[in-house]
C-alpha cells in the first residue's frame, strides 16, 4: 500500500503578493537578532505553497532591500553622522563589525551572503520536505549542499588572497579577545583566566580560525534541526510538514558515525606520538566538534523519549528543560555520552530483540 502524499498546506496556491510578504517576513527575522535562526521558515513555507518564480521573488526582494541598506543608507548615514554614528544607528545590520577588522571583507557582501545562507536552507528544506527521507538524510544532505556552496563561494571570493584573509580573521579574533580582557573582573580566579586569554590570544585565534569549518557546520545542523522542529509544530494545523520523518524522539544516528569518531580518535593519537602533523590534529578536532553536537541531539532525543513515555505534565517538562539550560555545560557532556553509547546499548529499546 502506497503512503499518502502530503498535503500542499492549503488548497489555494500562494499569490505573488503572498510570496513577497513571506520574503519580507524572512528579512525581518534575519534583522531581528533573536529570531535570526528562523529566517528560513517563511521561505520554506513559500516554497511549499508556490514553487518556482514566486519563491525566487520572495528571496530577491530581501536581497534588494539589503543592497539598498548597504549601498545607499549606510553611506548616507556615514557622510552625515560619521563612521561611529552610522555604526550606532545601524548596529542591527549584519557584517558591519567585520569591516575594519578584516580588510579584505566587504560588510555588504557578508550581510547579503549570510542572508542567502539562510535562504538556501529554506529552499532546500522546501524541496526535500515531501521526499521520503529519514531525519539523518534530510539534515545531512541539506547541510552538505549548503556547506559546499558556502565553501565554493568563499573560495571564489578570496581567490588569490586566502592567506591575507586567514590572517585578517586571526587579527579579528585577537582584537576581540583584547577587548574582552580590557575590563578586569573582581574575582581573582577570573583575573587569572583573563590573563591567560590575553597572553595566549594569538594561539587561541590560530585555532579558532581553523576550527571555523566545524563551527559553521554545527550552525547549519542547529538551524536545520530547529526549523524542522518548529515547522512541524507551527504548520501542523495546515496539513503538517515533513510527514515522512516520523517521531524525532526515536531518531538515532547510524552506527557508522561511531566508526568515524573512533577512526579519527586513533588518527589523533597516532599523530600526537608519530606523525605530529598540525593539519591532521585540526581535522580531527573539527570532526569531534561536529559529532559532539550530533550526539548531543541524540541525547536530547533520549530525554524527549522518556519524558513522553512517562507522560509527565507540561510544567514538569518545562522545569526539566529549564534545568538543562541552567546547567548546560555539565549536562551537555552527559547528553553527548548518552547519545554516543546509545548506538551500543539502545537505551530506548528501539530495536526489538530477536526470538
Q: Residue 98 class from Cβ within 10 Å (0-12 exposed, 13-18 middle, 19+ buried)?
A: middle
Q: How far is CA 123 from CA 11, 41, 62, 312, in A?
A: 21, 9, 15, 36
Whether 144 and 249 have beta carbons less than 8 Å apart is answered as no
Q: pTM value?
A: 0.85
Assign residue 338 a region (left: φ > 0; alpha: ψ between -120 and 50; beta: otherwise): alpha
Closest CA relative to residue 55, chosen from 19, 28, 29: 19
Report yes or no on 344 lying in a domain.
no
234 lies in which domain range? 1-156+216-246
Residue 11: what pLDDT? Answer: 47
- Mean pLDDT value of segment 211-215: 93
Number of domains making up the chain? 1
Mean pLDDT of the residues in the chain: 83
Q: How confident is the model at residue 10 (pLDDT cuts 50, 70, 90)?
A: very low
Report yes or no on 118 lying in a domain.
yes
Report yes or no on 277 lying in a domain.
no
Report which DSSP code applies to 238: G
Half-sphere exposure of 142 (CA within 13 A, CB side): 33
Instruction: Give me the helices (H) in the chain, please.
Output: 16-32, 40-49, 53-68, 74-89, 98-101, 107-128, 135-157, 162-180, 188-199, 201-210, 212-234, 256-270, 278-309, 314-326, 328-345
Report yes or no on 271 lying in a domain.
no
Whether 82 and 33 have beta carbons less than 8 Å apart is answered as no
Tens of pLDDT along 45-94?
888 887 666 778 888 899 999 999 888 888 888 888 877 777 778 877 88
Report which DSSP code applies to 69: I
The widest CA-to-CA distance across the chain, in whole angstroms, is: 79
In this model, does residue 148 exceed pLDDT 80? Answer: yes
Q: Angle, to 10 degrees, between the axis of helix 212-234 and the axis of helix 278-309?
A: 20
Report yes or no on 292 lying in a domain.
no
Report yes or no on 316 lying in a domain.
no
Report yes or no on 174 lying in a domain.
no
Q: What count of other Cβ atoms lies within 10 Å of the Cβ of residue 1? A: 3
Report yes or no on 175 lying in a domain.
no
Assign residue 346 a region (left: φ > 0; alpha: ψ between -120 and 50; beta: otherwise): left
The cell for 98 is 567585520
In this model, does residue 2 exceed pLDDT 60? Answer: no
In this model, does residue 249 exceed pLDDT 70? Answer: yes
Q: How confident is the model at residue 326 (pLDDT cuts 50, 70, 90)?
A: confident
Tens of pLDDT along 120-131?
999 999 889 888
Residue 103: what pLDDT? Answer: 52
DSSP 80-106: HHHHHHHHHHTTTSTTTTHHHHSTT--
Amino acid at each position: 500500500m502506497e503512503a499518502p502524499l502530503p498535503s500542499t498546506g492549503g488548497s489555494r496556491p500562494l499569490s505573488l503578493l503572498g510570496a513577497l510578504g513571506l520574503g519580507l517576513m524572512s528579512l525581518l527575522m534575519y534583522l531581528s537578532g533573536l529570531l535570526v535562526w528562523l529566517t528560513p521558515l517563511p521561505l520554506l513555507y513559500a516554497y511549499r505553497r508556490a514553487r518556482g518564480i514566486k519563491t525566487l521573488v520572495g528571496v530577491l526582494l530581501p536581497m534588494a532591500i539589503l543592497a539598498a541598506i548597504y549601498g545607499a543608507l549606510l553611506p548616507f548615514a556615514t557622510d552625515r553622522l560619521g563612521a561611529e554614528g552610522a555604526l550606532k544607528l545601524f548596529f542591527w545590520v549584519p557584517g558591519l563589525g567585520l569591516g575594519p577588522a578584516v580588510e579584505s571583507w566587504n560588510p555588504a557582501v557578508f550581510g547579503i551572503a549570510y542572508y542567502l545562507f539562510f535562504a538556501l536552507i529554506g529552499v532546500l528544506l522546501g524541496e526535500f520536505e515531501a521526499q521520503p527521507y529519514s531525519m539523518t538524510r534530510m539534515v545531512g544532505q541539506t547541510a552538505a549542499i549548503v556547506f559546499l556552496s558556502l565553501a565554493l563561494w568563499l573560495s571564489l571570493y578570496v581567490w588569490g588572497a586566502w592567506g591575507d584573509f586567514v590572517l585578517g580573521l586571526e587579527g579579528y579574533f585577537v582584537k576581540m579577545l583584547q577587548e574582552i580582557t580590557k575590563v578586569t573582573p573582581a574575582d581573582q580566579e577570573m583575573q587569572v583566566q583573563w590573563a591567560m586569554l590575553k597572553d595566549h590570544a594569538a594561539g587561541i585565534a590560530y585555532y579558532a580560525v581553523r576550527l571555523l569549518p566545524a563551527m559553521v557546520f554545527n550552525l547549519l545542523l542547529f538551524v536545520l534541526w530547529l526549523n524542522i522542529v518548529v515547522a512541524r509544530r507551527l504548520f501542523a494545523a495546515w496539513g503538517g510538514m515533513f510527514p515522512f520523518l516520523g517521531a524525532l524522539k526515536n531518531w538515532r544516528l547510524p552506527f557508522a558515525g561511531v566508526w568515524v569518531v573512533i577512526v579519527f580518535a586513533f588518527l589523533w593519537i597516532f599523530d600526537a606520538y608519530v606523525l605530529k602533523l598540525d593539519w591532521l590534529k585540526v581535522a580531527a578536532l573539527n570532526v569531534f566538534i561536529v559529532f559532539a553536537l550530533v550526539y548531543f541531539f541524540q541525547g536530547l532525543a533520549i530525554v524527549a523519549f522518556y519524558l513522553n513515555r512517562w507522560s509527565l505534565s507540561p510544567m514538569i517538562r518545562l522545569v526539566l528543560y529549564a534545568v538543562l539550560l541552567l546547567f548546560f555545560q555539565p549536562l551537555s557532556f552527559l547528553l553527548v555520552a548518552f547519545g554516543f553509547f546509545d548506538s551500543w546499548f539502545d537505551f530506548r529499546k528501539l530495536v526489538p530483540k530477536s526470538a
